[in-house]
Structure 1
Amino acid sequence: MPHYSFLSTINQAYGKHWTEDQIHVFGNGHIHQTFLITEDQEKYVLQAFNKNVFKNPETIVDNHQILLDHFPFESLRYQLPLPLKNLSGGLMTVFGEQVFRIQPYVNGICLEDINNPEQAFLAAEAFAQFSLAAKNLELSDFKVVIPRFLDLEWRYQQFTEALDQKEGKLGDDLKELVDFYIKRKDLVEEYRFWVEKLPIRVTHNDCKINNLIFSEDQKKVVAVIDLDTIMPGYVFYDFGDLVRTVACTEGENSTQWSQINVDKSKYEALYQGYTSAGEGFLKQEELNSLHYGGKMMTYISGLRFLTDYLKGNVYFHVQYPEQNLDRARNQMMLLKALNTIYAQ
């Protein structure tokens, strides 16, 4: 059995009497180390916070406190499992160099892939409902958790700087990808257009399908999770991330180039789900930006993969040296498919 040296600190901080046989490693998340704690009929999720990714956890605490104090939870048809307060009123607990938090456990199913358009509709609807429910919160109170996280201009600048620092001649595969991403700089210009035009909203900013919990019958969303990236943003960020991860026929690590395409039925379901939830709330220009969002989020992901490859794979975990190059090609293929189908 693993030894959980932090357990006595957690028990003291939260007034608990948990034992090591009540704790088990939980989930397959890539950011935080996560455990499930079972206490009689209750279950809790304990996380060891990853400060290498989120370097200023206090900004997340501040944002979560705003939600706890002011968010209209009753307006949602699902749960937002935010951290529980310890006995001192804090949302995080320090143990040595580690930071821990405890959240309610929500019973249900986390999907890694969407199986049908109906689930795509529910996913998009849920994320849009979050921004809708947060519409009256004071935006200026929210902290930026990861500065310039989805700033396409900055990501393109990082790419060109990494390219300038690359030593030696580019191989054919690398040159092909570099040329493609440079030629699509028009998406950077369009980014400037939209951010000057659109209102800022409270957005989730990490709209992956596994950041939802579905009911056991998979007929409804019972929780939106992974709430660390909640901060001010644009609705095309959230919709675009759904398009990139749900509507693509292959995952981002696939090298089946000829199989990478857009599942039109899932795409349309995402669009219908997001726009139906935002009806009467989203402005017309926000609705007009959604198709751009899919292309923008695909492009920015490809840029980040390619930039990391140029830098020597220092950010994204890779299983082989060329994986970030393959990921960038994967996103290139998806972007080509999106541009063919949704050129507007």
Structure 2
Amino acid sequence: MLRRYVMQRINTAVFPRPELVMANINVLANHVASRPVDKGWVVPTAIPIRNSSQTWLEQEGQIWRMLTFVENAQTLQTIGSKQEAHEVGRALGVFHHLVRDIPADALADTLPGFHVTPGYFQIFEDGLAKSLAKPNVPISQELETCLNFVDQRAGSIDVLEAALARGELQTRPIHGDPKVNNVMLCSTSGRALAMVDLDTVKPGLVHYDIGDCCRSGCNRHGEETEDLDAVLFDLNLCEAILEGYLSAARETLNDHDLDYIYDAIHLITFELGLRFLTDHLAGDIYFKVNRPGHNLHRANVQFKLVKSIEQQEDSIRAIVERLRP
């Protein structure tokens, strides 16, 4: 049977130390090779260069690597059913269970500050100050609404980092970008087969992953919707994602971990909105845009999602309580 592979260029603008990215992927691959893996679960692995153990190649200033291809699989852009939501959550749970005993310090931090919301807030404040210092810069009603939204929630942005500092949460290996389209589902059965886009594997809080998975999966209309009135955090999908996640990862979490699941969902959604807003103020230098005000609109979408999460806080916490072991 002909084997297929994926040839990729590593974005060194995002990952200036590609050798660390590949080292992390290799740590993951070596760890998985040493332990039994759930039947049907696939971990993409890097292919060494011929006559070398190195798994990346520099060519004309660009960094390339080759990974194994996940066969008979597809990804989703949005979740369409509770079964799909369950499998997306289960995929993240399998991943966390699989890497649970990799020492966090065995992985390089390839994205320092990633998902550390207080750090993003400081960047936002600096950018806002620079923007307001410019003469004759108008503030639209949409921008003012977003700025007020952030200001009203600034006091709670350290909820996860404070819990980490108190020892209630701990740093562990995480995926780093567990959005819906990074989960591979079997084209035949619909079961989760793999998590891809492993460049972001690093030490962090599993709550970053849980929050981002729910944020990505529970907004049926996605980040780019033009209909703000349609933005809603789907509680049924959230329940299915958490059920799937805990079916695979329950034994890796303690009571404190479960206590902060709501906060993770709320904070990581807020954080993405904050990052979009910051990029808007900076002149759209990070996220790709296709029109003026695109990042401001994206921020508004995430903040609408945050508000929907806040309105359902009691229900989300009740789901977590029901799923406690």
Q: How far apart are 1:219 and its partner, in Å? A: 2.4
Matched residues in 2 for 1:319 and 1:59: separation? 32
- Look up the match of 1:118: 83
Q: Any idea what the Cα deviations from partners look like across 1:83-141, whole Å, max 9, x if unmatched?
A: 11112111101111111111111111122121211111111111122111212212212
Q: How does 1:3-42 map to 2 (within 5 A)?
A: 41-42=2-3
- Look up the match of 2:19: 58
2:146 is aligned with 1:177: yes
**Deviation beyond 6 Å, 4+ runs, structure 1:** none
2:37 is aligned with 1:75: yes
Matched residues in 2 for 1:177 and 1:318: separation? 18
2:228 is aligned with 1:257: yes
- Look up the match of 1:199: 170
Contact 1:235 1:290 survives alignment (8 Å):
no
The 10-residue stretch of structure 1 (67-76 or 329-338) with the greater mean CA deviation from structure 2 = 67-76
SS for the counterpart of 2:4 is strand
Contact 2:103 2:172 survives alignment (8 Å):
no
Matched residues in 2 for 1:251 and 1:133: separation? 29
- Look up the match of 1:85: 48
Q: How far apart are 1:76 and its partner, in Å? A: 3.2
2:239 aligned residue (268, 290, 303): 268
Percent identity between matched residues is: 27
Q: How far apart are 1:264 and its partner, in Å? A: 1.5
Q: How far apart are 1:192 and its partner, in Å? A: 3.2
Q: How does 1:175-324 map to 2 (within 5 A)?
A: 175-196=144-165, 197-324=168-295
The 10-residue stretch of structure 1 (44-53 or 65-74) with the greater mean CA deviation from structure 2 = 65-74
Matched residues in 1 for 2:304 and 2:29: separation? 41
2:113 is aligned with 1:152: no
TM-score by length of 1: 0.85
- Look up the match of 1:6: none
Contact 1:76 1:130 survives alignment (8 Å):
no
Matched residues in 1 for 2:252 and 2:103: separation? 16
Q: Any idea what the Cα deviations from partners look like across 1:20-41, whole Å, max 9, x if unmatched?
A: xxxxxxxxxxxxxxxxxxxx72
Matched residues in 2 for 1:120 and 1:209: separation? 9
Matched residues in 2 for 1:254 and 1:217: separation? 30
Matched residues in 2 for 1:114 and 1:305: separation? 23
Matched residues in 2 for 1:240 and 1:218: separation? 27
- Look up the match of 2:320: none
Q: How far apart are 1:67 and its partner, in Å? A: 1.8
Q: How far apart are 1:278 and its partner, in Å? A: 1.9
The 10-residue stretch of structure 1 (248-257 or 152-161) with the greater mean CA deviation from structure 2 = 248-257
SS for the counterpart of 1:278 is helix
- Look up the match of 2:64: 100
Matched residues in 2 for 1:97 and 1:304: separation? 29
The 10-residue stretch of structure 1 (74-83 or 283-292) with the greater mean CA deviation from structure 2 = 74-83
Q: How far apart are 1:261 and its partner, in Å? A: 0.5
Contact 1:119 1:218 survives alignment (8 Å):
no
Unaligned ranges ≥5, structure 1? 1-39
Matched residues in 2 for 1:192 and 1:99: separation? 34
- Look up the match of 2:321: none
With over 3 angstroms needed to count, the CA separation of the structure-2 counterparts of 1:270 and 1:117, relative to structure 1, is: same
The 10-residue stretch of structure 1 (184-193 or 228-237) with the greater mean CA deviation from structure 2 = 184-193
SS for the counterpart of 1:270 is helix
Unaligned ranges ≥5, structure 2? 318-325
Contact 1:144 1:231 survives alignment (8 Å):
yes
Contact 1:305 1:325 survives alignment (8 Å):
yes
Q: How far apart are 1:169 and its partner, in Å? A: 4.2
SS for the counterpart of 1:55 is coil
Q: Any idea what the Cα deviations from partners look like across 1:227-254, whole Å, max 9, x if unmatched?
A: 1101111121111111111101321111
TM-score by length of 2: 0.90
Contact 1:84 1:91 survives alignment (8 Å):
yes
Matched residues in 2 for 1:209 and 1:187: separation? 27
Q: How far apart are 1:80 and its partner, in Å? A: 0.9
Matched residues in 1 for 2:121 and 2:149: separation? 13
Contact 1:109 1:218 survives alignment (8 Å):
no
Q: How far apart are 1:170 and its partner, in Å? A: 2.1
One-letter code aligned to 2:79: I
Matched residues in 1 for 2:23 and 2:3: separation? 27
Question: Whose relative contact order is higher, 1 or 2, with alpha carbons under 8 Å and at least 6 apart?
Answer: 2
